Amino acid sequence: MLELYALLIFMLLGALIAVENHDLLSSVIAVGTVGFGLCIVFLYLGAPDLALTQLVVEILALVILIRSTVALTVPETYKGREFLAYLMTGIFILTLLFFSSRALSSLPSFGAPLMKVSKEYIALGTSRTGAPNLVAAIMFDYRALDSLGAAAVLLVSILGVITILRLKGRK
Amino acid sequence: MGGIRLIVKTITRITLGIIFLFGCYLTFAGHLTLGGGFAGGIIVAISYILFVLAYGEAAAAEKISRFWAGVIMCLGLLLFIVIALWGMWDGYFLGNFLPKGDPHDLLSAGTIPWLNLAVMLLTGAGLFLAFLLLIGFEVAPQEERGT
């Protein structure tokens, strides 16, 4: 449990440095440390499938971000309205803390009851779908509709990129 | 500078096929071990991105152009939807209609390997296309630029 807290503090520090840094390239690299820390957290929690996906996604995102931000390291500053921004941030954080503490107090404690559905997945997953990898069995058999939605979201987001980065505007 | 380019190109040429094959392995063994279509597709996209970074977009356009990357991306989602609709023949949407086979065989688990393949096509071609669009854009000539 101690390693998890150390990794979480490391990721929080990385996120803070990414926000507060004025050099864009350093910020991108600090964001990368957050992602790789999350990858190690997944490994500690016993989810190698998620860790692998997180690793490759992080590498691809870093390559794209570095390649597209390294040319335009222009620091942008916003003057004025800082007090209002801090005030609104504080109000939102307090509201979030209030409602999440209400919600968290009604949840069962961490990891205590293994859910009924996941028990059935573990017991019957391989014999019903024929796939020894339970993650694949859940993703592409039990919850295949979720995967279809995720794939459609990916396609639509890339279509959006194509539309925005079109060379010639449409009249 | 020229020496660095040579080293990068040589190492890319050696490792490119291995990276591509690893992505394909993760895809087709996704129902047996770790991996799956999404991770495999990203690694396939990374192999093409490595090629673009080492050799330039002009050389990559001879292998696969933006148009065909978009076509393959759409074919991936189309394959997913066709398999999903095919399941309705036997009962319900996204039903696992193929025979289950023996566990730990390459062709087992019904439709799961084929859905992995569809997701791999979509993810690989789509993310490679997104990379090309974000990185390799050209600045429009002065008269075509909007105000």
Q: Specify the pLDDT at position A112.
A: 63
**Alpha-carbon separation of residue B139 from A170, B32, B74, B75 (angstroms):** 17, 46, 27, 30
* CA nearest neighbour of A11 among A54, A42, A48, A41: A41
Cβ contacts of B114 on chain A, cutoff 8 Å: none
Task: Indicate whether B147 pLDDT > 50.
Answer: no
Alpha helix stretches (DSSP H) within A21-171: 24-44, 48-69, 82-105, 116-129, 134-137, 144-164
The closest CB to that of B77, out of A63, A151, A161, belongs to: A151
- B11-64 per-position pLDDT tens digit: 888 998 899 999 898 888 887 878 788 888 999 999 988 888 888 777 777 777
Nearest chain A residue to B47 by CA distance is A60
The structure tokens listed for A166 are 């079109």
Contact A144 B38 (CB under 8 A): no
Average pLDDT, chain A: 80
Q: Specify the pLDDT at position A169.
A: 54
Contact B115 A140 (CB under 8 A): yes
Domain that holds residue B123: 2-136
* Chain A residues with at least one Cβ partner in B under 8 Å: 48-49, 52-53, 56-57, 59-60, 63-64, 67-68, 126, 129-133, 135-137, 139-141, 144-145, 147-148, 151-152, 154-155, 158, 161-162, 165, 167-169
- A19-39 per-position pLDDT tens digit: 988 888 888 888 889 988 888
Task: Indicate whether A110 pLDDT > 50.
Answer: yes
Q: Does the residue B36 lie in any domain?
A: yes
- ipTM of this complex prediction, to 2 decimal places: 0.72
Q: How confident is the model at residue A116 (pLDDT cuts 50, 70, 90)?
A: low
- B74-130 per-position pLDDT tens digit: 898 899 888 888 877 777 777 777 777 777 777 777 788 888 889 899 999 988 888
Q: Does the residue B47 lie in any domain?
A: yes
Q: Specify the pLDDT at position B18.
A: 92
**Alpha-carbon separation of residue A115 from A111, A119, A120 (angstroms):** 9, 6, 9
* CA nearest neighbour of A52 among A135, A151, A160, A169: A135
Q: Does the residue B142 lie in any domain?
A: no
The closest CB to that of B80, out of A148, A158, A169, belongs to: A148
Choosing among B94, B105, B108, which should be mutated to test the A contact, i.e. which has the most A CBs within 10 A? B94
Q: Specify the pLDDT at position B83.
A: 86
Q: Specify the pLDDT at position A90.
A: 92
Task: Tell me the C-alpha distance between B95 and B114, whole Å.
Answer: 13
Q: Does the residue B123 lie in any domain?
A: yes
Q: Does the residue B115 lie in any domain?
A: yes
Number of structural domains (chain B) is: 1
Q: How confident is the model at residue A108 (pLDDT cuts 50, 70, 90)?
A: low
Contact B133 A168 (CB under 8 A): no
pLDDT, mean of residues B129-146: 63
Taking residue B34's Cβ as centre, other Cβ atoms within 10 Å add up to 17
Cβ contacts of A53 on chain B, cutoff 8 Å: 36, 38-39, 42
Q: Specify the pLDDT at position A163.
A: 79
Q: Does the residue B147 lie in any domain?
A: no
- The owner of tokens 């864009």 is A24
The structure tokens listed for A53 are 């996906």
